[in-house]
Amino acid sequence: MNAAPDLGPAARRLGDLVAGAPDDRLAAPTPCAEYTVGDLIDHIGGLALGFTYAATKSAGEGTDGRPSGDASRLGEAWRTEIPQRLGALADAWRDPAAWTGMTQAGGVKLPGEVAGMFALDELVVHGWDLARAIGRPYEPAAAEVEACLALLAGMAGQIDGESPFGPPVRVPDDAPPLDRLVGLTGRDPAWTPSAA
């Protein structure tokens, strides 16, 4: 594996989107058909915990199954708590030991370096989901997007025989890298709240 990426910038970007999500958008749709904005924010909070535990190779919420996605679980301080969880995730993956050995995330056992890349993918793609749903600009770093594309190309959509995403959405081969990434993860790059 090449040098492990720093998940901090992607985590901060997503944390800023979470903190800035307006109350009047919490019931709005997202590119994830099963989630409202509030549900997606709760899911982000759960995956932040799950991937933090995956980095430290300890059992906890989000390691034995898919993180929740239920807006009714958001506490009063979610705008500060979830960005803090995202920061803790990034800090945990700065430990070189996080990228070695085996771990578990979302109920799947996988090598630490693969789990770390999935953590990056979750940060980048859910950042796109949330930004699109609340009408905010979103520009992840090119290196982050390319790393996520390489991860998905390398696994050919399969982990233990199951796809972790919905069916891919076809996009042109010459589409921008972020469009190709969200298409590979089952999202329509042209999605807007008004089209939902």
pTM: 0.92
38-47: pLDDT as tens digits:
999 999 999 9
Q: Does domain 8-140 have CATH number 3.30.1280.10?
A: no
Token pair belonging to 25: 């958008």
Model pLDDT for residues 161-189, shown as the tens digit of each residue: 444 567 889 999 899 999 999 999 999 99
For residue 95, pLDDT beyond 90? yes
Cβ pair 74, 43 in contact under 8 A: no
Q: Which of 178, 40, 51 is nearest to 114 (CA)?
A: 51
How far apart, in whole angstroms, are the C-alpha atoms of residue 108 and residue 126? 19
Q: 87: which 2 tokens?
A: 């920061």
Q: Both tokens of residue 181?
A: 């990434």
pLDDT at 94: 98
What is the reported pLDDT for 59? Answer: 78
- Is residue 133 within 8 A of residue 40, CB to CB? The reply is yes
Residue 24 has pLDDT above 60, yes or no: yes
Every domain of the chain and the residues it spans: 8-140
Residues 6+ apart with CB under 8 A from 184: 149, 152, 157, 165, 168
- Residues 170, 183 contacting (CB under 8 angstroms): yes
* Strand partners of residue 136: none
* Alpha-carbon gap, residue 116 to 96, rounded angstroms: 11
